[in-house]
Amino acid sequence: MEIAVEKVKELREKTGAGILDCRKALKECSGDIEKAITYLREKGMASAHRKAGRTTKEGRVSAYIHAGGKIGVLLEVDCETDFVARTEDFQTLVKDVAMHIAAMSPQYVSREDVPQDVVEAEKEILRKQAESSGKPANVIEKIVEGRLEKFFKEACLMEQEFVKNPEITVEELVKQTIAKLGENIQVRRFARFRVGEE
């Protein structure tokens, strides 16, 4: 099947994937752009997953100032080599994540970073709210689990919908960059400051 150059170009613009990868994805998906996007994301996620265990000893600390100097973010993103840390793709990722933090105000990098006492306190609040509905105990547990997932999606940077493209999470954005650059990348830590906030 012959794939039109325009389709390859459109897929490349939407995904940032290489020309050959875009052509292959379109062939695999019979020219369907949406299916090809999913195909490329799955391929990217698979290669990103394999790289996740590799050590990250290089990277960048970046500062981002927003809203006329009212909001500031300090962010550390790590990678495996200084070569990758100096690439435009890596620096764009760092800037995008810092901007996202300024806009969405996450509290933690990932759910693993949420202290257990915070999780337990949140569960207790959610349980009391659910019990007031008068539903049976097994239903209450499901309600608590569902609302706890929502809490993680709101509080944890990696689970938030990326502010510039809500179709992907910040974690998926990082994995796409891992797939593109061929190195493990980790958002290590961040601090967000807002004038007048404690």
Rounded Cα distance, 66 and 51, in Å: 33
Ordered domains of the chain (ranges, CATH): 5-51 (1.10.8.10), 58-109+156-194 (3.30.479.20), 115-152 (1.10.286)
Predicted confidence (pLDDT) per residue in 68-93, tens digit? 889 999 999 999 999 999 999 999 99
Task: Count CB-CB contacts under 10 A for residue 30.
Answer: 10
Beta bridge partner(s), residue 74: 63, 191
Pairing of strands 58-66, 71-79: antiparallel
pLDDT recorded at residue 52 = 59
Q: What whole-number percentage of the chain has pLDDT above 90?
A: 48
pLDDT of 50 reads: 55
Contact by Cβ (8 Å): 107, 155: yes
Q: 9-68: per-residue pLDDT in tens?
A: 887 777 666 677 788 888 889 889 888 888 877 776 545 555 556 667 899 999 999 878
In what helix (H) or strand (E) does residue 190 lie, and over which residues does it extend? Answer: strand 185-194
At residue 86, the 3 state secondary structure works out as coil
